Amino acid sequence: MVCGAGLLLVGMGLALGILRNSISQELFNWTGEEEPAGQARAVLQLCVGRLRPQPDTRPDVAIDHANVNPFGINMFLQDEVEPAKREEQIRLVAEAGFHWIRQEFTWEDIEIHGKGDFIDRRNEAAGVDAWVKYDQIVDLAGRYGLEIIARLSNPPAWSRAEGNDAGSLAPPDDVKDYGDFVAAVVSRYAGRVTFFQIWNEPNIYPEWGKAPVDPVAYTQLLCHAFDRAKESNPDAVVLSGALAPTLALSDRDLNDLVFLQRMYDAGAGACFDILSMQGYGLWSGPTDHRQRPTMINYGRNVLVRDLMVQNGDEKKAIWISEMNWNPVPDQVLTQGFWGQVTAEQAARYAPLAYRRAQEEWPWVGVINFWFFKRATDSEQDQESYYFRMAEPDFTLTPVYYSMREYIGGQ
């Protein structure tokens, strides 16, 4: 149906200008492409894709942690110096209707100077309790009815013999040090924070430091953290570290599907409750239904789900840790790694991404918008800055209003 009807619509769109808008919209609903040339190419790719074996997603099985409120958002509350600004962020996010916040509990910002040392002496000789800021974040989330997905990453320099020369995000020399940190966070917030994510994007540079990415080593870290989390709070729910979508096959960056299979081969299936992936659309919209291992689009998680099924993990949900499209200005766009859309497209695409998951992917639970805001505009010269929903001064972008309207209509 997609192939025959799609090719017919492409031809009609070229021939009948009067019908072009409605035909273009229908083609967008299949391809995620806005322009006629992209739509024609995508329809052909969809047709070729139908000749391959189709992904097995097992949509009818009972899936843990899938039937949940899907609306989440990434926040950097730990970077806000003023407590009042943290609360204003939380208030705006709650007012928009979001239910989850994915928030970093940064190891290097909590256990800063040495093992078991939770006093922050970076600015005051006497030091302050490093937990206070994170306690306030947890308090605020509870007050505004939000649940936290705590991302546990960013090791302190003391956890590595090479310090930050190994890379500021490199894993610790001893996974037991990380396990102790996980246990400390899980124990402290038992009954208030239930969901904990172990690392972030271990399959790409620089998230595993300067060493080659290593799915076996990451699995060892994940399994140790899983055990420590469950020992500290049996009700804790563990998310695997979100894998970054990449086509690379190198020691620096390793294809997410290859990395995940090697994790399974190393025994990772017993060490997480929820699989976490990133969900960027990059250069096509959220309605792109092409399933090509050599292409990164919003629907790539279908291939991840198929891989989970092949490894007997069909009863676990996927939670998307980061999802968005980037309205980066032309003057900042250089490499175009994150794609580029207009502010209007970004505002239109985000609700469509949630709608597609709600309608087509019963095995997806939470989808976390990337991201609410940064504390400062120091990264304005970087493409990734423009994923923001709000400016540092709390000026809201169009996608805030489109998401508030969409969530309010559910």
For the chain, the 3-state helix, strand and coil shares in percent, each to the nearest 5, are 45, 15, 45
Q: pLDDT tier at 214 (50, 70, 90 boundaries)?
A: very high
pLDDT (mean) for 352-381: 98
Residue 354 clears pLDDT 90, i.e. is over it: yes
Residue-level pLDDT at 22 = 85
- State the chain's mean pLDDT as an integer: 94
Task: Please list, in sequence order, all residues whose beta carbon lies within 8 angstroms of the beta carbon of residue 381, skipping any fewer than 6 positions away.
Answer: 332
pLDDT digits (tens, 9 = 90+) for 94-123: 999 999 999 999 999 999 999 999 999 998
Residue 9 clears pLDDT 80, i.e. is over it: no
Specify the residue for token string 């175009």. 336
Task: Please list, in sequence order, all residues whose beta carbon lies within 8 angstroms of the beta carbon of residue 176, skipping any fewer than 6 positions away.
Answer: 224
- The string of DSSP codes covering 189-243 is TTTT--EEEEEE-TTSTTTTTTSPP-HHHHHHHHHHHHHHHHHH-TT-EEEEEEB
Residue-level pLDDT at 156 = 98
Longest dimension (CA), the chain: 76
Q: Check: CB of residue 92 under 8 Å from CB of residue 100.
A: no
* Run of H or E residues at 74: strand 71-75
CATH class label, 57-408: alpha beta
Q: pLDDT tier at 15 (50, 70, 90 boundaries)?
A: very low
Two structure tokens written together for 92: 């705006």
d(CA 398, CA 166): 40
Domain regions of the chain by residue span:
1-52, 57-408
Task: Give the three-state DSSP class for 356.
Answer: helix
Bridge partners of 369? 73, 323
Helices (H), 97-174: 107-110, 132-143
pLDDT digits (tens, 9 = 90+) for 63-85: 999 999 999 999 999 999 999 99
Residue-level pLDDT at 337 = 85
pLDDT digits (tens, 9 = 90+) for 132-165: 999 999 999 999 999 999 999 999 999 999 999 9
